Structure 1
Amino acid sequence: MITATGVVKKYSDEVAIGPLDLTIPVGGITALVGPNGAGKSTLLTMIGRLLGMDEGTIEVAGYDVARTDSKDLAKIVSILRQENHFVTRLTVRQLVGFGRFPYSRGRLTTADEELISRAIDFLDLRDLEDRYLDQLSGGQRQRAYVAMVPAQDTAYVLLDEPLNNLDMRHSVQMMQHLARAATELGRTIVIVLHDINFAGHYADRICALKDGQVVAVGTSDEMMTDDVLTRVFDSEVEVVDGPRGRLAVYY
């Protein structure tokens, strides 16, 4: 379980996130949604301790993220941010291997190599594993970065806009991979998404943020309604029943 209690991040006297109180249960996919500037990425990076908070506490699986040793926290929670600065002379396999650093400290074992191969297969990167990153498309590189996360083999996975640079087909495949990771591997996945329809279709729970506050939390069915989405996005939204679930239509 992830719990955030009284969490505040101040950027200035006029700009702040929080105070936030949120509980994310174990298992499944929880999507963080909301308009630009709502605080989604800030919350995610505070949970992953890539950004400090000014007030409050965050716990992941009972561990206080502000107090837990980095080596121990990296075995509990993995995070992928939007900004990925790739080194061109790395191959896909070498990049994915960085996910094993909390365990191997750079000396990969046979067990590490097996987990790297499993992550590469999980993201359908086998044909690309020996290619250098600068030889890949933006979408292929994005999949390679995401593959580092299952290679790290943590129970909690945090992903900030993993669909960036992916076309529609690969976005669907990525969400299918993550859904499999949640169900087959028992992962707890927290993901920032801009597309509310991807959240509604693949997430088990949706947390909506607006102006630095949590304004609504619930199951996908509870959140995919005209009233909730219109209030969150300040735009008229109609939710219709599609052949595979509810869809939000903007006006």
Structure 2
Amino acid sequence: MTGGGSGIGRAVALELLTQGWSVVLAGRHRARLEETARLAGEAAGRALVAPTDVTRPEEVHALFAAASVRFGALGLLFNNAGLFGGGGVPVEELAYETWREVVEVNLNGAFLCAQAAFRHFKEQRPQGGRIINNGSVSAHAPRPHSIAYTATKHAMTGLTKSLSLDGRPYRIACGQIDIGNAATEMTDRMRTGILQADGAVRPEPVMDVADVARTVRHMAELPLDANVQFATVMASGMPYIGRG
């Protein structure tokens, strides 16, 4: 579970922990990960806090090694860590450093974690496992001034398809959940007003992040013979269908 210290990652971690899963909480901020574990109550004993920068290959390697030592065979990677960085900045003003940071976390980090999971799933016995990538409705339709985030989420879709295809001989299933307007810190601004494609600024509805968590758990608990390839979960009234 990457990005397990807040938002969607925290909600999914708590859902899985309370339903009997053992969960490795990965993220850059130990204090936030430890808070997620505390929120799990009696289930906290099945959580492993593992501070990790997913953009660093050596840290990703150490993460999966620690998970294997603690829990043995691995069953699921939820590739969730991500940044929205650069939102609201016109493309001609976006700093290259910001672009690079978003690509490093959202795409390179997702690849490194998927690669490590793939290796473990192939080598363990019985062979196999599942990867769920956190995409976005931005993988289909962008918001204004979101080029870095949108480009990485489109790339995430390609990553999902390639992993799904390459994993078939090894019982490795890979799917993607595209989420729109879940109520987290990242979406707070949507309730007060956010730029629309027509130039207006309007508030948007949000949904309970617990609904996302339950959807991820459903995807995770399918047998490896079945896979939700792509799922879209969003606030029913958000301007996505017909955006623009």
TM-score range, shorter chain: 0.3 to 0.5
Higher strand residue share: 1
Which has the bigger relative contact order, CA under 8 A and spacing at least 6? 1
Larger Rg: 1
Give the TM-score normalised by structure 1.
0.35
Higher helix residue share: 2
